[in-house]
Structure 1
Amino acid sequence: MKKSLVLLTVISSLSLSAVAQSKIIAHRGVWKHTQAPQNSIKSLEEAIQLKVWGAEFDVHLTKDDVLVVNHDNDFYGIDIATATYAELLAKKHPNGESIPTAEAYLKAGLAQKGTKLIYELKTNKLGTERTLKAAEQSVALVKQLGAQAQVEYIAFSYDACLRLKELDAKAKVHYLNGDKSPKELKAVKIDGLDYHINVYKQNPTWIKEAKNLKLKTNVWTVNKEEDMTFFAKEKVDFITTDEPELLQKVLSK
């Protein structure tokens, strides 16, 4: 009987440890050591192969209302917000890929279920109206593809976060900008804070406060081993990194 109780205690401890361990989000896919262009479908495939919890990608709205995946406001010198999708096809990634549409990227991610798709809605340089239009089209696209269970949203625009929740109350939405306290985010039903490493260092109580409020915590972009170790010990829910291979090794220690 005593042996059984000891065994159950050990199993419970291991289970709790697994639940508490920070999960890895690959920033713009897995690209740094794979030669895959950032935010390409190839970088997503590399993230899936590495079996990270999530792959982050960035979505812009073109002049002709096409959602495309790219980090910067320009795609190899072509300004996305003021260009049509057809105009963006004049350039290619070094591996030969064209700029992916959000639809194509999501479909590639939906071919599997192991890696979450972390959809960053970029703030449109032309103003709030265009950003909110992108939010509306994003939710419509995710619903059209039946991808709600696979997708979580992040955004720097507070207005966009609120609109995303308004359009889909069940969607997981996390705020990036770092200027709202956990209490403020809880009040408007945002699901979590996804803040830069320096924001947490300047507000050392926010991780604990967020946990007490049952909000998710994510930190970006964590590329140094000592920072990975620190935030893993803080038990943040997610760590976003350009070095997912290194983070896997740190978390396995």
Structure 2
Amino acid sequence: MRLSKLMMACAMCVVALAGSAQTKVIAHRGYWKCEGSAQNSIASLTKAAEAKVYGSEFDVQMTKDREIVVNHDDSIQGICIFDTPFAGLKALKLSNGETLPTLDDYLETGKKLADIQLILEIKPHRTKEAENEAVKIIVDKVKKRQMEKQVEYISFSMNICEQLVRLTPDSEIAYLKSDVVPEDLKAKGINGIDYYVKVLAEKPEWIAEAQRAGMKVNVWTVNDMEMVREMIDRKVDYITTDYPLETGKLIQGN
């Protein structure tokens, strides 16, 4: 009887400690609000690692000839990525002078920066078939480099999330669209929510529901410091922000 009570007390202690874990910072499109950097550039990844944040988020798109490039929009300098072979894109420059990076470039740099997580957002594609193909290519690249523990996945596409669950079920996978209750995602094998800050501010119960289900809670994109404070108080696991240094200071001072 005493042993049973002791085990129950230990379990309650573990839950309490898990619930009080410190919120961590994810740099949105890397740390780019600084000299020499640009959104989704190799420099933004390197500078995020130098800032000692938990993770650096970045976006990927697939070209016509199935190369995976790092870019937020589905076009760059007016050129549609999905309809263009990589040869027609590779010389294009980012605002800091870097050429358009590929996922291979990002993974090669990221593997040298072992203390930072790579938060890989797979953008929705034109068809489910294209999404399925992109997911397979991306997951294969990550597995080839044995980076499954360092790379975490996010997407607005439910189909992409479901394909990730199928191909890399032990990975961290979070849904972005902010329109599904946590328990329904958990039932699909998706183990995180990465929701818009205004949605979680209006539905804070989703934070607790997700964490009770063993899911991680990320919130995007939080640039208002008052909202940062609110999300810290709500004990979200991660805050994605364009201001990683300022957000980190608030967390440390909390």
Instruction: Tell me whether the two structures share a fold, i.e. TM-score over 0.5.
Output: yes
Q: Select between 86-95 and 25-34 the one with higher mean Cα deviation.
A: 86-95
The 5 A counterparts of 1:163-178 are 163-178=163-178
Q: What CA deviation, in whole Å up to 9, does each residue of 1:131-165 have, x standing for no partner?
A: 12111111111001111111000011001101011
Indicate the SS of the match to 1:92: coil
Which amino acid in the other structure matches residue 27 of structure 2? A
Indicate the SS of the match to 2:108: helix
Aligned mates of 1:168, 1:232 — CA distance in 2: 30
2:92 counterpart residue number: 91
2:103 counterpart residue number: 102
Indicate the SS of the match to 1:211: helix
**Where does structure 2 lack aligned partners over 5 or more consecutive residues?**
1-12
Indicate the SS of the match to 2:112: coil
Indicate the SS of the match to 1:47: helix
Could you tell me how far 1:117 is from its partner in structure 2? Answer: 0.4
**Where does structure 1 lack aligned partners over 5 or more consecutive residues?**
1-11
What is the root-mean-square deviation in Å for CA atoms of aligned residues? Answer: 1.7
Could you tell me how far 1:218 is from its partner in structure 2? Answer: 0.4
1:146 equivalent in alignment to 2:142: no
**Amino-acid identity (%):** 42
Aligned mates of 1:156, 1:18 — CA distance in 2: 26
Could you tell me how far 1:129 is from its partner in structure 2? Answer: 1.3
1:56 counterpart residue number: 57
The 5 A counterparts of 1:26-105 are 26-105=27-106
Which amino acid in the other structure matches residue 53 of structure 1? Y
1:116 counterpart residue number: 117
Q: What CA deviation, in whole Å up to 9, does each residue of 1:88-139 have, x standing for no partner?
A: 1242113221111101101101102111000100111x22211121111111
Could you tell me how far 1:16 is from its partner in structure 2? Answer: 4.5
Which amino acid in the other structure matches residue 246 of structure 1? E
1:8 counterpart residue number: none
Aligned mates of 1:204, 1:29 — CA distance in 2: 27
Which amino acid in the other structure matches residue 211 of structure 1? Q
Residues 237 and 93 of structure 1: CA distance in aligned 2, closer, same or farther (over 3 Å): same
Aligned mates of 2:18, 2:202 — CA distance in 1: 27
Indicate the SS of the match to 1:131: helix
1:135 counterpart residue number: 135
Q: Select between 138-147 and 26-35 the one with higher mean Cα deviation.
A: 26-35
TM-score where L is the length of structure 2 = 0.90
The 5 A counterparts of 1:187-198 are 187-198=187-198
Could you tell me how far 1:201 is from its partner in structure 2? Answer: 2.3
- For this pair of structures, how many residues does the alignment match? 239
Indicate the SS of the match to 1:110: helix
TM-score where L is the length of structure 1 = 0.91
Aligned mates of 2:77, 2:151 — CA distance in 1: 27
1:22 counterpart residue number: 23
